[in-house]
């Protein structure tokens, strides 16, 4: 497997702190962790538009105010946007139907409480940064950058309301372990991003040491490879852009941890011999 160096793909003005994205029908749907808008970037004409997720949607929100939308996924022709759960006001899930544009809000606080309780996490240590959905379950990617360092995957059964947690160990840089920042399912394989951030808090940012791409066998939750792809960029979102028998191309987004409303997206290619 050959992972080519990441390359800048495009620069978008009007959105900052990008935390997740989905590619669909020649558009990128992007979320920001300090905004309650969903952004649509049309690649053909390089046009950015905003979709209000709430009546009072806003951008550039403070840490205390923000919903901390860190995860976005496409399932059943709907985009699902999920808060990190790291504080009580970060427990919302919003769905956006790509057909009729209908928006539905759901409170995940009870589910998040069950997740924390299942493995004894303190209230401030849940930090959901990626989600995969199907008809039966939510798979939540827990970023273990809190004091307890619990990095792994909760698979929550929506029928019996029970969850199974799989702890996942990732590489370290200068003694700091990489922790999940996003994931996407491709067949029976999950490709994920993880970052080394020198902080023991799910709330406060720390010094970035590097970001990794990795993949795992999804049924077994077994990591197959990881590779450091940047020491400068805190990569927080990935989506499949192009796929063929021997090549996968991803678009990645970066949370630059600033209030500047501009984002650079990157392209990464993986070639299978």
- DSSP assignment of 232-251, as one string? S--EEEEEEEEE-SSEEEEE
pTM: 0.95
Contact between 124 and 203 (Cβ < 8 Å): yes
- pLDDT tens per residue, range 240-252: 999 998 999 999 9
The residues with which 105 forms a beta bridge, in sequence order, are 94
pLDDT value of position 255:
87
Number of C-beta neighbours around residue 234 at 10 A: 22
HSE at residue 262, side-chain half, CA atoms within 13 A, is 4
Q: What confidence tier does 203 reach under pLDDT thresholds 50, 70, 90?
A: low
> Does pLDDT of 192 surpass 80?
yes
Tokens of residue 28, six digits: 């990128």
The CA-CA-CA angle for residues 44, 49, 52, to 5°, reads 145
Q: What percent of the chain has pLDDT over 90?
A: 84
What is the pLDDT of the chain when averaged over all its residues? 93
pLDDT band at 207 (very low <50, low <70, confident <90, very high): confident
Query: What share of the chain has pLDDT > 70, as a percent?
Result: 96
pLDDT in tens, 79-90: 999 999 999 999
pLDDT of residue 273: 66
Which residue's structure tokens are 């929506």? 158
Confidence band (pLDDT; 50, 70, 90) for 201?
low
Q: What is the dihedral of CA 156, 29, 51, 109, to 10 degrees?
A: 20
User: Is there a contact between 179 and 143 (Cβ–Cβ < 8 Å)?
Assistant: yes
pLDDT at site 124? 87
Instruction: Point out the least confidently predicted range of 47-61, 223-237, 248-262.
Output: 248-262
**Ranges of H-type helices in the chain:** 109-119
Taking residues 144-148, what's their average pLDDT? Answer: 83
Residue 245 structure tokens: 């028998």
Burial of residue 212 (CB within 10 Å: 0-12, 13-18, 19+) is: buried
Compute the average pLDDT of residues 203-229.
91
pLDDT category of residue 117 using cuts at 50, 70 and 90: very high
Return the pLDDT at 173. Answer: 95
Q: Give the pLDDT of residue 63.
A: 81
State the average pLDDT over residues 124-139. Answer: 96
pLDDT of residue 259: 73
d(CA 131, CA 254): 18
> For tokens 């499949």, what's the residue?
240
DSSP 46: T
């Amino acid at each position: 497997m050959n992972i080519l160096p990441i390359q800048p793909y495009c620069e978008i003005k009007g959105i900052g702190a990008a935390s997740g994205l989905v590619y669909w029908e020649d558009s990128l749907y992007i979320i920001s962790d300090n905004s309650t808008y969903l952004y649509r970037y049309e690649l053909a004409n390089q046009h950015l538009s905003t979709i209000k997720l709430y009546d009072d949607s806003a951008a550039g929100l403070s840490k205390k105010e923000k919903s901390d939308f860190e995860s976005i996924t496409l399932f059943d022709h709907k985009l699902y946007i999920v808060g990190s759960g790291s504080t009580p006001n970060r427990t919302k899930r919003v769905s956006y139907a790509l057909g009729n544009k209908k928006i539905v809000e759901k409170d995940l606080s009870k589910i998040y409480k069950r997740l924390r309780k299942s493995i004894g996490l303190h209230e401030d240590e849940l930090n959901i940064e990626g989600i995969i959905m199907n008809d039966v379950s939510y798979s939540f990617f827990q970023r273990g950058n809190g004091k307890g360092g619990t990095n792994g995957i909760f698979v929550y059964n929506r029928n019996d309301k029970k969850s199974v947690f799989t702890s996942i160990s990732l590489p370290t840089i200068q003694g700091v372990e990489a922790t999940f920042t996003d994931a996407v399912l491709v067949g029976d394989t999950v490709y994920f991003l993880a970052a080394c951030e020198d902080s023991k808090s799910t709330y406060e940012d720390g010094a970035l040491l590097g970001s990794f791409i990795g993949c795992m066998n999804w049924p077994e939750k077994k990591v197959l490879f990881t590779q450091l792809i940047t020491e400068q960029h805190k990569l927080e979102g990935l989506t499949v852009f192009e796929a063929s028998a021997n090549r996968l191309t991803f678009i990645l987004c970066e949370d630059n941890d600033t209030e500047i409303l501009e984002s650079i997206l990157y392209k990464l290619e993986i070639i299978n011999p």
